[in-house]
Amino acid sequence: MAKELLQLYARRAVSAGHAFAEGGEAFEEFEATFPYDETPDQLAAIGDVLGDMRSAKTMDRLICGDVGFGKTEVALRAAFLAVLDGKQVAVLVPTTTLAFQHGRTFAARMTPFGINVRTMSRFVSDAERKKIRDELAAGVSEVVIGTHQLLSRHVRFADLGLLIVDEEQLFGVGQKEKIKALRDSVDVMALSATPIPRTLHMSLVGIRDLSVIDTPPEDRLSVRTFITRWDDDTIAEAVRRELGRGGQVFFIHNRIQSIAGVADRVRRLVPEARVRVGHGQMKGEDIEELLIDFAERRYDVLVATTIVGSGLDFPQANTILINRADMLGLAQLYQLRGRVGRSKVRAYCYLIIPGGAAVSADARKRLAAIRTFTELGSGYKIAAKDLEIRGAGNLLGTEQSGHIGAVGFELYRELLDEEIRRMRGEDVDKPPPAEISLPVAAFIPDDYIEEASLRLGTYKRIADAPDAEALGEVEDEIRDRFGPLPAEVGNLFAVMGVKLRAQALGLLSIDHSKDAVVYRIGEKTPIPASRLIELVAGAPARYRLLPDGRLVDKEANLLKKDAVEAVLEGLIALELCVNNRETLNQVP
């Protein structure tokens, strides 16, 4: 799978995508149907997406925006632009309930413009599903919204131009890459309030493009969040307070086996409340009816599993109680809390943990994070905290969390760049780094940089410096942070400087004996053979060129002079050969 993903990302990086047209008056008319004022960040995200689509580069952008901050509008405009240019659009959502709600939203905005919007989920009959597949294959349906059924091998698109993945964190890596692989040149846009660590990490390090919507809609209030042990009085008071101001309540209990008992307990605590139960094992039409009834206020409290956690919009519900919050992930908790506070009314979230039960260290971190990040626009911070708690994930495999194991990120980037160059027909064979072996103490003493992780990080930065200028910047920074360089650290920078110059000359190694320095010259050296022979012939007492490509500098007696200085003399002579100037032995 790692190989397939590498090849997929490499192909997408070099393939030319479809450059969409501007859209003209029709697009401006569609924009005008948005009933709200766009926020600055929303406008910026829309600009990023449309700019990607109108360029020949294949889009792969993540829109990270808090719940209710307008990500769907970004998706709508992208979809409309694609359809205007004759392309089909697939909107992939994680749940049937979200497919139902998105289907209504997209149809309401697009049908007046003559666009055929279809929804494919388990709410749809087999006969209707087959009809939709036929329409997609024939190009009759222009926008389709569906769950993972869109990934089925039976679904064929006449001309797919844009894939939108909503609530991306709820899909597996394999599912997302599968639909990307259907068309190397299809534009992909992912939407998420709390992208999974793997996805956020890929965005942060530049594998994907990232747009963040931080600006809240006007008059939106943050959700007040409380952590509490199970307490009947607290729960009853929270429900009654919400009902007293004319609102509705979500009560999340993520265990189907015991959800009916919890609903009965809520009924006993608040007898005047009308309570209904919802979970994923119900029939599709029953879930649809349940949600419609909730939207039309036919009952007050919805006791449900986490099926309500994705993208559903019920602005009249402004209190949510989450039972066994310690058992849910950080992204799940944030998504669930996002079901309330979607209007101008103050909303409340109660994270309920069991009385007397031990809570794991990671669960405590997650609960502390969800309570800390209550301000509007915290989705990006939540995802970053999740990245810290769970690790970056395996970039190449299907694991969504955990530390990068078999393939580290730097090796991944190196392999990816190499694969891209290979596909472009470029030479990817590069010589190994030069090995430098000199009799000098070159290291960072423990008492200079005491913390081991800092010391290791410093070694890495020194080793990764691409040129002398970058190496000098690292040296200046270390001197500024930790004080004057000890002799050993100065030697380390000097040796790394030698290594950079050696690699530029195509040297494989620099070694020493007690009375000479030996330079092993690689096949791809820029040193002309004629100039090298001239160097040796001009000073036969000093230089000797061996048949295996080693140049011996017998004058560089390391017992009598500084080792680094002796090696630098030899490197200068070789550099002069490359530059076709006077060789060292001819310089006074």
Tokens representing 209 are 């493009």
Domain match, 258 and 178 both: no
Query: Can you give the pLDDT at residue 166?
Result: 87
For residue 38 the two structure tokens come to: 């766009």
In terms of pLDDT, which residue wins out, 429 or 42? 42
Alpha-carbon span 167 to 91, nearest angstrom: 11
Residues 446 and 522 in one domain: yes
End-of-domain residue from the set 184, 213, 242 = 213
Residue 26 to residues 77, 138, 140, 149, 289, Cα–Cα distance (Å)? 11, 24, 20, 32, 36
Q: Is the CB of residue 509 less than 8 Å from the CB of residue 461?
A: no
Among candidates 285, 340, 347, which has minimal Cα distance to 313? 340
Q: Which is it for strands 516-521 and 550-553: parallel, antiparallel or unpaired? A: antiparallel
**Judgement on whether residues 95 and 182 belong to the same structural domain of the protein:** yes
Same domain for 575 and 439, yes or no, is yes
**Residue 162: closest CA among 139, 178, 144, 135:** 144
Boundary residue ending a domain (375, 391, 407): 375
Q: How far apart are CA 48 and CA 51, in angstroms?
A: 5
Tell me how crowded residue 156 is: count the other CB atoms within 10 A of its CB: 13
User: Would 380 be classed as within a structural domain?
Assistant: no
| Residue 381 clears pLDDT 80, i.e. is over it | no
Percent of the chain past pLDDT 90, that is, above it, reads 30
CA distances from 75 to 49, 241, 474 (A): 9, 36, 43
Is 157's pLDDT higher than 70?
A: yes
Answer yes or no: do 195 and 259 share one domain: no
- Among 266-280, 282-296, 557-571, name the most confident range: 266-280
Determine, yes or no, domain membership for 397. no
pLDDT at 270 exceeding the cut of 50:
yes
**What is the pLDDT at residue 404?**
42
Residue 167 is given by DSSP the state S
Backbone φ, ψ for residue 581 (5° rounding): -110, -170
Q: What is the pLDDT of residue 522?
A: 85
CA–CA separation, 450 and 428 (whole Å): 40
Spell out the residues 6+ positions from residue 524 whose beta carbon is closer than 8 angstroms to its own. 431, 506
Report if residue 426 sits inside a domain: no
HSE-CB at 445 with a 13 A cutoff on CA atoms is 13
Q: Which of 323, 353, 375 is the last residue of a domain?
A: 375
CA distance 263 to 276: 8
Give the integer Cα–Cα distance in Å for 377 and 223: 11
Whole-number Cα distances in Å, 310 to 68, 169, 358, 547: 11, 10, 29, 70
Higher pLDDT, 136 or 314: 136
Residues with Cβ within 8 Å of residue 406, at least 6 apart in sequence: 2, 394
Range of the domain at 168: 2-213
Q: What is the pLDDT of residue 547?
A: 84
Residues 30, 170, single domain; the answer is: yes
Per-residue pLDDT, 370:
79
**DSSP H/E element including 533:** helix 529-538
Residues 33 and 162 in one domain: yes
Which residue has better confidence, 339 or 304?
Answer: 304
For residue 383 the two structure tokens come to 């995802």
Residue 242: give its domain's CATH number.
3.40.50.300
pLDDT at 363: 82
Instruction: Report the pLDDT value the prediction gives residue 395, as an integer from 0 to 100.
Output: 45
Find the largest Cα–Cα distance for the chain: 105
The residue assigned the tokens 């599968």 is 178
pLDDT of residue 583 exceeding 50: no
Cα–Cα distance measured from residue 527 to residue 521, given in angstroms and rounded to the nearest whole number: 9
* Domain count for the chain: 3
Does 428 fall in a domain? no
pLDDT band per the 50, 70, 90 thresholds, residue 475? very high
The pLDDT mean for the chain works out to 81
Query: Do 368 and 441 share a structural domain?
Result: no
Number of neighbours of residue 301 by Cβ within 10 angstroms: 25
What pLDDT digit, counting tens, does each position of 415-458 carry? 666 766 676 667 766 667 788 888 888 899 988 988 877 888 88
* Buried-exposed string 391-401: b where 16+ CB fall within 10 A, e elsewhere: bbbbbbbebbb
Average of per-residue pLDDT across 241-247: 94
The 10s digit of each residue's pLDDT in 74-104 is 999 999 999 999 999 999 988 777 888 888 8
Q: Strands 209-213 and 317-323, how do they pair?
A: unpaired
Q: Are residues 65 and 209 in the same domain?
A: yes
Does 386 reside within a domain? no
Give residue 566's pLDDT: 81
Tokens, residue 365 = 């971190």
Residues 362 and 443 in one domain: no
Tokens 């989920």 label which residue? 121
On the question of pLDDT at 117 being above 90, the answer is yes
For 568, the token pair is 């630098």
**pTM for the predicted model, two decimal places:** 0.59
* Average pLDDT for 170-197: 70
CB 51 within 8 A of CB 17: no
Answer whether residue 317 is part of any domain.
Answer: yes
- pLDDT tens, 493-515? 999 999 999 988 888 889 887 67
The residue-averaged pLDDT of 322-346 equals 83
Asked if 544 and 554 touch (Cβ cutoff 8 Å), the reply is: yes
Average pLDDT in the 162-166 region? 91
Question: Does the pLDDT at position 413 exceed 70?
Answer: no
**Structural contact between residues 548 and 496, judged by C-beta atoms closer than 8 angstroms:** no
Indicate whether 400 pLDDT > 50. no
Domain assignment present for 10: yes
With a cut of 80, say whether residue 197 has pLDDT above it.
Answer: no
pLDDT band for position 524 (cuts 50, 70, 90): confident
Asked if the model's pLDDT at residue 202 lies above 50, the reply is: yes
Per the model's pLDDT, the better-predicted residue between 295 and 375 turns out to be 295
- Residue that wins the pLDDT comparison between 555 and 566: 566
Q: Which of 325-329, 422-426, 487-491 has the lowest mean pLDDT?
A: 422-426
Cα torsion 221, 226, 231, 235 to 10°: value is 10
Are residues 307 and 173 located together in one domain of the fold? Answer: no
Looking at the structure, tell me whether residues 172 and 42 fall in a common domain: yes
Q: What is the pLDDT of residue 192?
A: 80
Q: How many CA atoms lie within 13 A of 103 on its CB side?
A: 17
Kindly state whether residue 508 falls inside one of the protein's structural domains: yes
Report residue 179 CA to chain centroid gap: 18
Sort strands 160-165 and 88-92 into parallel, antiparallel or unpaired.
parallel
